[in-house]
Amino acid sequence: MTDMVFLLLMFVLMALTLVNPNALRLVLPKSSNQITEKPYTTVSITPEGKIFVDANIPVTLEQLESVLREKLIGKERPLISLHADEKVDWGQVAAVMDIARRNNYTMVAAMRNP
């Protein structure tokens, strides 16, 4: 009986660590607006200016457009969630949003709740 409880506990602990293993530490600006649609993918920009697609694919700004095209092929007006730390240079955020505009993607900036 003790073995079963131990195995169940181990299973729960392992499952909890796998829930979001690719999380990036970003401090998002505050906002009170929320979206109801689920984005097809996310683009994250760290405080150091590094760009990630889906929090686990590191890309440069030059590679981002081709990676998004490949990932979103066949989707009509796909929704992309942009997660940028509040310390990120706005020029980099604007460049990512410009890539979305050129490719007719809908870009939503993710913010934390106030």
**Confidence at residue 60, expressed as pLDDT on a 0 to 100 scale:** 93
| Closest by CA position to 67, among listed 91, 100, 93, 21 | 100
Query: Could you tell me if residue 19 is inside a domain?
Result: no
Predicted confidence (pLDDT) per residue in 33-85, tens digit: 555 567 778 898 888 889 999 878 899 999 999 999 998 888 877 888 888 88
Answer yes or no: is pLDDT of 112 > 60. no
Mean pLDDT of 1-5: 83
Query: Could you tell me if residue 48 is inside a domain?
Result: yes
Mean pLDDT of 93-101: 90
Query: Could you tell me if residue 88 is inside a domain?
Result: yes
| Closest by CA position to 61, among listed 25, 28, 88 | 88
| Dihedral sign of CA atoms 62, 65, 68, 74 in order | negative
Residues of the domain holding 94: 24-110
Query: Could you tell me if residue 10 is inside a domain?
Result: no
CATH number of the domain bearing residue 90: 3.30.420.270
Residue that has been written with the tokens 């990630």 in this structure:
52
Query: Could you tell me if residue 39 is inside a domain?
Result: yes
Contact 71, 99 (CB under 8 A): no
Query: Could you tell me if residue 13 is inside a domain?
Result: no
Query: Could you tell me if residue 15 is inside a domain?
Result: no
Please state the domain count of the chain: 1
Query: Could you tell me if residue 1 is inside a domain?
Result: no
pTM above 0.75, yes or no: no
